[in-house]
Structure formats: C-alpha cells, structure tokens
C-alpha cells in the first residue's frame, strides 16, 4: 500500500508478478522475531529466553485476554467487505490481502510488530490505515484502534491511532478507486519506488538503472 499511496498502482496489475524479495539480515531477524512472538502468544506461557519476546508477550497479554495472531484477511475492494482466510494464498487475486500480526476482536484493536527503530523516517501510515480497515470490516465495527508496537530488548514502545467511521469510509473509497485504476496502471516513478515489490521488473526503473550504468 505504500506504493499505491505514493501514486503508483503498477505493482497491483494482475499481469505483473513481482519476483520474491531478497532477504537481508535485518529482514530475517524481523521474521524470526515475529514467529517467536506468535509462538509465545499461542503456546503461553512458553515465551523462551529472548527478552524481546518476553516483553511482547507481557505487553499483549496485559492488554487483551483473547488474542488472534497472523490473521490473513481478504478485502473485496469493490464493496469493502472483508473475511478471514486460512492462509494468505487462499485470498482471491482480485482482493486486497492483509495479514495482521496481532488483534483483539473484543477491543477492536490491531497492532503490527516492528523490530526496527521507532525513530525511522519511514511512514507506516498506509499500513496502519489498511490494517485498521481490515479488522474493522471483518468485525463490522465503525471504530478501531490501529497501531505499531516497536519491540526491543528494553521493552515495547507503542504508537496507536483511533480510526473512526469517517476514516474507514475514506479508506474504503480509496480501495475502490485503486481497484478501478489498477488493471491499466502504468509505471509511475514516485517517492516509494525504493520499497516497491515490482522494482526489479518495472520498466521505468529498468530504464532508469540502464541509463545509470550506460
């Protein structure tokens, strides 16, 4: 969604198949920590000896009595409805796929674990809004708490936003507009090109990089 928010829908065309993203050490650490936290929350109280996992376990269980982890949600952009699927691969190609890290249905709250610096200049606003909309649409509520939980060996730093009916309606309208434009979208250089999943095959980026190396 970062790329769509920045103004380019090319990666979301059905005929565009981005190659698997190359993992670096930081990405692998983040994935490993996500898995460890999920296991701790689902097999309580076996949290292991990693301080990050212990902090995440305590933070989440002190807030909510019932938790749901790594939930695949598919959003139909034509009408804004959402439903839960067994795996991300089960979500139809014409739906927006979202996997939320941890959420509470009783509290209508959803959070994404972050293992990087909380002082990063990168904006996670598109993810926060999409996660919030996915859970709100799944539960059929008009207000949802959506946020980021930065995990470190020193504890959890959480940032949250309350999305109301107006925010959710605006997100639903945006998804509908993107769905209508995506099938014929052309590559559009934007501020999010650096993080685009289709960067390796995007004609605009391939041409640009060819000029750099010429």
Confidence label for 214 from pLDDT (cuts 50, 70 and 90):
very low
CATH number at residue 182: 3.90.320
Report how far residue 67's alpha carbon sits from residue 147's, in angstroms, rounded to the nearest whole number. Answer: 15
Q: What total number of domains does the chain contain?
A: 1
Q: What is the mean pLDDT of the chain?
A: 89
Nearest alpha carbon to residue 9 among 73, 71, 77 = 77
- pLDDT for 119 equals 82
Domain range enclosing 185? 2-213
Q: Distances from the Cα of 138 to the Cαs of 67, 96, 109, 132, 175, in angstroms?
A: 15, 13, 12, 10, 15
pLDDT digits (tens, 9 = 90+) for 155-213: 999 999 999 999 999 999 999 999 999 899 998 888 888 888 888 888 888 766 555 55
60-69 burial code (b ≥16 CB/10 A, e <16): bbeebeebbb
| Max avg pLDDT among 17-26, 43-52, 97-106, 179-188 | 97-106
């Amino acid at each position: 969604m970062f790329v769509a928010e920045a103004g380019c829908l090319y990666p979301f065309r059905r005929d565009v198949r981005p190659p698997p993203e190359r993992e670096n050490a930081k990405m692998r650490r983040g994935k490993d920590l996500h898995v460890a936290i999920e296991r701790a929350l689902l097999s309580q109280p076996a949290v292991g000896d990693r301080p990050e996992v212990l902090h995440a376990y305590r933070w989440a269980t002190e807030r909510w009595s019932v938790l749901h982890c790594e939930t695949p949600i598919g959003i139909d952009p034509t009408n804004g409805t959402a439903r839960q699927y067994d795996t991300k691969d089960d979500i139809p190609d014409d739906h927006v796929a979202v996997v939320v890290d941890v959420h509470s249905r009783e509290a209508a709250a959803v959070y994404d674990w972050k293992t990087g610096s909380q002082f990063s200049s990168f904006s996670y606003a598109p993810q926060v809004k999409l996660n919030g909309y996915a859970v709100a649409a799944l539960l059929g509520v008009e207000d949802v708490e959506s946020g980021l939980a930065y995990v470190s060996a020193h504890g959890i730093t959480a940032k949250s936003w309350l999305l109301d009916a107006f925010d959710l309606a605006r997100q639903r309208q945006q998804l509908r507009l993107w769905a209508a434009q995506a099938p014929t979208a052309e590559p559009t250089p934007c501020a999010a090109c650096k993080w685009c999943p289709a960067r390796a095959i995007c004609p605009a980026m391939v041409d640009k990089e060819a000029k750099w190396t010429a």
